[in-house]
Amino acid sequence: MSILSGKHILLGVTGGIAAYKTAFLVRLFKKAGAEVKVIMTKEAEEFVTPLTLSTLSENPVLSSLTDEEKNWNNHVELGLWADFMLIAPVTANTLSKMASGNADNLLLTTYLSAKCPVYFAPAMDLDMYKHKSTKASINTLVNYGNKFIKPGSGELASGLVGEGRMAEPEEIVQFLEKDVLSQLPLYGQSVMITAGPTYEAIDPVRFIGNHSSGKMGFALAETALKLGAEVILISGPTNLKLVNSNLKLIAVQSAQEMFEAAKSYFENVDIAIASAAVSDYRPKQQFDDKIKKKTELLTLELEPTPDILKYLGSQKNNQILIGFALETSNEIENAKSKLERKNLDFIVLNSLKDKGAGFKTDTNRIRIITKDDILRFDIKSKTEVAADIFDQILKMNSK
């Protein structure tokens, strides 16, 4: 999952040979999960066809202020629709018009109407790029708050070798992703999250476990990623999937494996959230062969598993440490005791008595308990619950 997933990207294409690269650019944006609309200048149509870009973007390509029936293509609505506007390639001609406020085509009127961040990736020959007027246009656009994607060096259409090649599509997408991430509140911070159940083996086919699905932990991980964090997700057995370049997913089975993983990463993270439903006990003896069913009673001797959260609390330095408590009785008192004993910054309490809360559900109802306060929330989706938890973390992070 890319930070661009679900975002609206408005791509402006002007008349340079590098326009052929926009087919690959649209494809990469779509692969990242973004919705893409394309505006072309008439000159750009000489280099790449509207049909190609409309097919790849799955949206009509616009190039004039009115359509064939003389209906107005609303540049204001296009500018408001976009989360990000990218003009690539942008020629020296269009650079000059953008800098001066010239609005003689749909692309330029939309640019002047845009309320979102605007990125521009120049492409032109070496001498044109070096010209003082081009440099002045670029500086003006940057001073206006636009984001400059520097061209690369290489062989140019004229046969010269030097600066002026439009950045490659992969570089442009990476530039946008990095820039968007850098504006987010958890950019540059790392978050470790434990999720799901643990399975404690009895024999090769049987285990002691619980009903945790991992949904809460994965929702927390997804929220942290959207806030710009690097995430280490240590997950017990679950069918859930989450893919992101800023995610390190570590699959474990037992409480001991989860403990070892958490122990190895905790020192270097900024925030740790222990949302996993870790088994409190494991069989003292694990059988190498499957236990055969017999008529007499089978007695298993259990021993405690490592207390992961207590260990993390004892090692805590400057980290924010969050725990979870699932209770069935004396809920507030038990949660407060856990908060104190395990040296937590706050604890998230949920109860199996609340309808729609607990294991395997898509919803949860929580209370956030700090040393000084109890925050109560209505039943919500686990995605919304994760947002509430990170709202509290961000308040602590800003102090």
Q: Residue 376: beta bridge partners?
A: 367
CA 108 – CA 7 distance, rounded (Å)? 22
Of the residues 73, 93, 102, 210, only one is catalytic, namely 210
φ, ψ of residue 81 in degrees (nearest 5): -65, -35
The beta-strand segments (E) located in 102-218 are 118-122, 147-148, 152-155, 161-165, 190-195, 200-201, 207-208
What does the alpha-carbon distance between residue 265 and residue 242 come to, in Å, rounded to a whole number? Answer: 20
Specify whether 210 is catalytic: yes
Distance CA 330, CA 60 (A): 60
The CA–CA distances, whole Å, from 259 to 185, 214, 235, 279, 308 equal 29, 17, 11, 11, 6
Rounded to the nearest angstrom, the gap between the alpha carbon of residue 356 and the centroid of all alpha carbons in its chain is: 27
- Beta-carbon contacts of 204 under 8 Å, excluding residues fewer than 6 positions away, are 287, 288, 289, 290
Dihedral sign for Cα 141, 146, 152, 158, please. Answer: negative
Residues identified as active-site: 210
